[in-house]
Structure 1
């Protein structure tokens, strides 16, 4: 009989742990508000892994950043705010006083306007904390028209915003 009482707390604890979000699909939209695919984000021991599966972007190199507001209002996506930067660093993966938590490597879009890529965001998490992507207001993934030069302030001279996806616990 004693063994049954030991198992009950373990079952309850396991049930609580399953509520932690470790993987999400983020729908990406273009400047017309049309879906262009998804980014699957997953908590890893080294940060958040992001798998991009998108179609309908201009070919070439494009900056991609995580922004501090979960608002994807087309056509300019300005409501998504600034790069996620809880540690008040300078912008750019190459900057000696950087990088923002939301700074990521550039995406390469193929000639057929598609991109399938995996990027790591080592300075963010899906868990609670100052670098969480799951804030009350949400955060977002922004793709820019141009590439990120890795140094220029505040967004790497990456030009306008052409795609956005809201990162949120809620589906709406």
Structure 2
């Protein structure tokens, strides 16, 4: 133990701030490096050899490569990132829309209930028939058509109970 031992109070406060600044800049540089590498792969206008060249340049000469990339192509980095975010949002919205519709081509239970309510409001089915059809829709065991959509029920055939043509 012939070496001198330094304790925490031997490290001056300004040196702590200086070390923290360098550490912060080092982390920020790595974040910038990874964003540039992601941008290289994200850019559809670059060919394969151009992507490989930029990637080698950024990895082999990291400080110079990052600096040159930001100067040469930094203006469009944000645009490409926003375009990708919009594409992802559009895909997500489309997925949500398809999932909400039921995805399998059947109308959703909300659509079926709305259609049943409309049929009841027109007077084509009674409240009892509406309750039975609603129970079928909510139990998800019934067909994807409103209650009484079988061939024996006059509503399915487009006629009212009195035999006259139902208004459509």
Which of the five TM-score ranges fits, normalised by the shorter chain? under 0.3
Determine which structure has greater relative contact order: mean sequence separation of CA pairs < 8 Å that are 6+ residues apart, divided by chain length.
1
Q: Which has the higher strand share?
A: 1
Q: Which has the higher helix share?
A: 2
Q: TM-score, normalised by structure 1?
A: 0.24
- Who wins on radius of gyration, i.e. which is larger? 2
